[in-house]
Amino acid sequence: MPASEADIQKHAAEIARLKEALNSVLFGQEALIDLTLTGLLARGHLLLEGLPGLGKTELVKGLSKALRLQTKRIQFTPDLLPGDITGNPVLQETDSGRAFVFQPGPLFANLVLADEINRASPKTQSALLEAMQERRVTVLGETHELPKPFFVLATQNPIELEGTYPLPEAQLDRFLFKLEVTRNDVRTLEKIVSGRELGVEPRLDPVMDAATLEGIMDCVREIYLPDVVANYIARLVDATHTGQSRTAEAIKFGASPRAALSLAAAARARALIAGRINASFEDVKAVAVPVLQHRIILEYNARIDGRTNRQIVDDLLAEVPTQALDVPATLKATA
């Protein structure tokens, strides 16, 4: 059932208040905050990449306060084990005798901050795979459901820094967005220096609770996705594969069907934030880079030439037309 105009406007106003609150915590990162909220409303997990000290962790803590969500922080280190994240069975005395009782780990929270995720070993990183996809964990054959809503917001340092491990492709594909946190300009730095103190967290009052957030996310699913927009998403993802576009010659492995679903969900969320009843081509283009850039692997020659994943996605957006030349008549009728 399509979302009503009144509900959309109501939720758009609630999101605007949340956005204003986060902008008071993290100065000069309006675009980052917009994409972060888009990803959350699409029920996605987010990967924030940037040098230390740019505000990645502060953004996650701000979300926790503004949304009143149960939040756990996991500091990823090389010696971290999978059980340290998911939890482990512990031998305890029970009414029926001694038995192993599962003790939940820090993964059992609404909002999980996986801080510096690429400092842990690939074995530990992979402990998040089931949780991020199925919202549950399995330990010694026993499955445990995670709280709802459940989000993983991971931060990582650029891979060139010492003591980091690249995330496996299967792990990267679980993240709806990969967002790059850039440094601040002089004016923003001046504002930070004038209004903040080292070691003192900014105060942030709650804006909404988990129930309100769930209602907004349910409304996102009801945003109408026109057939022509769905067709554009399909062609854009298909163009990342060899032989489907000129740009694909620089791509070794293209995006998966999960990327297409992610584009659709993010486009719907962006439309709701803007107070619109349907997703558009512009919504898809606006979220294409954070959705696709971490889901493609470049050919060796492309990397040697200095081309980046972001540049490749920009080239795809320029190459793939919004309207297919051979679009079926049924789609033309709804355009």
pLDDT digits (tens, 9 = 90+) for 213-236: 999 999 999 999 999 999 999 999
Binned at pLDDT 50, 70 and 90, residue 335 comes out as: very low
pLDDT digits (tens, 9 = 90+) for 17-36: 999 999 888 888 889 999 99
For residues 152 and 63, give the distance between their C-alpha atoms in angstroms, rounded to a whole number: 12
Report which DSSP code applies to 127: G
Mean pLDDT of 65-78: 89
Residue 242, CA distances (Å) to 41, 74, 237, 239, 252 in order: 32, 39, 11, 8, 7
Q: Which amino acid is present at 256?
A: S
pLDDT digits (tens, 9 = 90+) for 91-111: 887 777 788 888 899 999 999
Q: Which residue has the tokens 């967005």?
A: 177
Of 10-14, 117-121, 315-319, minimum mean pLDDT range = 117-121
Residue 290, CA distances (Å) to 113, 144, 266 in order: 19, 31, 10
Given a contact cutoff of 8 angstroms between Cβ atoms, the answer to whether 48 and 153 are in contact is yes
Q: Which domains does the chain carry?
A: 1-222 (3.40.50.300), 223-335 (1.10.8.80)
Q: Which residue has the tokens 């609630």?
A: 14
Residues 6+ apart with CB under 8 A from 108: 72, 87, 144, 146, 147
Binned at pLDDT 50, 70 and 90, residue 327 comes out as: low
Q: Are strands 45-49 and 142-145 parallel, antiparallel or unpaired?
A: unpaired
Residue 64: predicted pLDDT:
87
